Amino acid sequence: MKSELRVDPITNDVVLISPVRSERPVHLQAVSAPISRHSKPSSDSTDPFLEGNEQLTESESLAIRMEGSLPNTPGWLVRCISNRYPAVFPWQEFWNQIPQGEELLSIVGSNSDLDRARQAPLAGIGLHDVVVECPHDETHLSRLSIDQIGLVISLWRDRLSAYMQDEHHWQYGLIFKNHGRLAGASLPHSHSQMMALPFVPPRLLHEFNACRVAYKTCRDSLWSQLIEQEELLKLRVVQKTSRFLAVTPYASRFPFELRVLPLKAQAHFSSITDDDCEELATLLKGLLIALETVAHDPDYNLVIHTAPLREQEPSDFHWRLEILPRIGGIAGFEWGTGAFINAVPPEIAAAQYREALS
């Protein structure tokens, strides 16, 4: 079939799988050069994320450190700091804007009153962190050791736990990584970002509620059913470990898109164990190296979707990690329809991944 229309059974993403699109001639060149990140890193004293340059960043909120080292000094392995250019700000930044006698919630968005923002803006309150993934000069997460990647994952987990316990009762915690300029990165040093938000993103809330409704009907998780189906078909399975399954989604939005799911129902990423971190680190490193092989070291976004922070551990939801290669771009069709065109069928992508991993 020259073109296939697919809909993701859980997220409802609509995708046209159209391999012929990859044959288009391209005569335009990029206007701006990408961030230099393909050569071997060299020491740069102006890099704010290098060990020894702690004075160039905001204060750290969490770090994994060598024993005896002090906060905001050398001796760290992974470091979480406030974003110097945040998209949201702590509530203290808005304190003077609150009319006397009114509650903080009067200017904060939540899912119960997001409609208010249609008439008047609400304050952009939240936390916006940067996770510096290594103290030395490195551009690729894939080039870090498995142990170091495991530390990064464990810091993601621990900072997410802190969001859950925060007295301001954040509703959602987001973990994401922009690798390369096409993915939105502004600095080459390997890093990721985290945000605590006062609302659950509507797209995730719809998905979460759909999973809950389905569970009440059939007493089984939609994600568990999807995992069972993918294991049965095997067409899109990239790799399976004792704890995780990596697949190319049936309705992949991007060429070589990857999805990693825990095999057991686990709604909150903050619930993963140290053993989970170690196994996920091994899997993630291999997948990123394979991505660099099959897609020629592309820019990519990595996103972790997790259950809303205020929900107890529901059995009807799975957290998941997604790797979204920025190949082909988002153009007029995507903006005009909300759907996607993917020139690489996920079954072919999975086969190429398996070959690269063998």
Catalytic residue flag (residue 179): no
Do residues 54 and 200 lie in contact, with contact meaning Cβ atoms separated by under 8 Å?
no
| Cα angle, residue 323 at apex, residues 182 and 134 outer, rounded to 5° | 80
Phi and psi at residue 92, to the nearest 5°: -60, -30
Which of the residues 128, 179, 189, 191 is marked catalytic?
Answer: 191
Do residues 49 and 57 lie in contact, with contact meaning Cβ atoms separated by under 8 Å?
yes
List the catalytic residues.
191
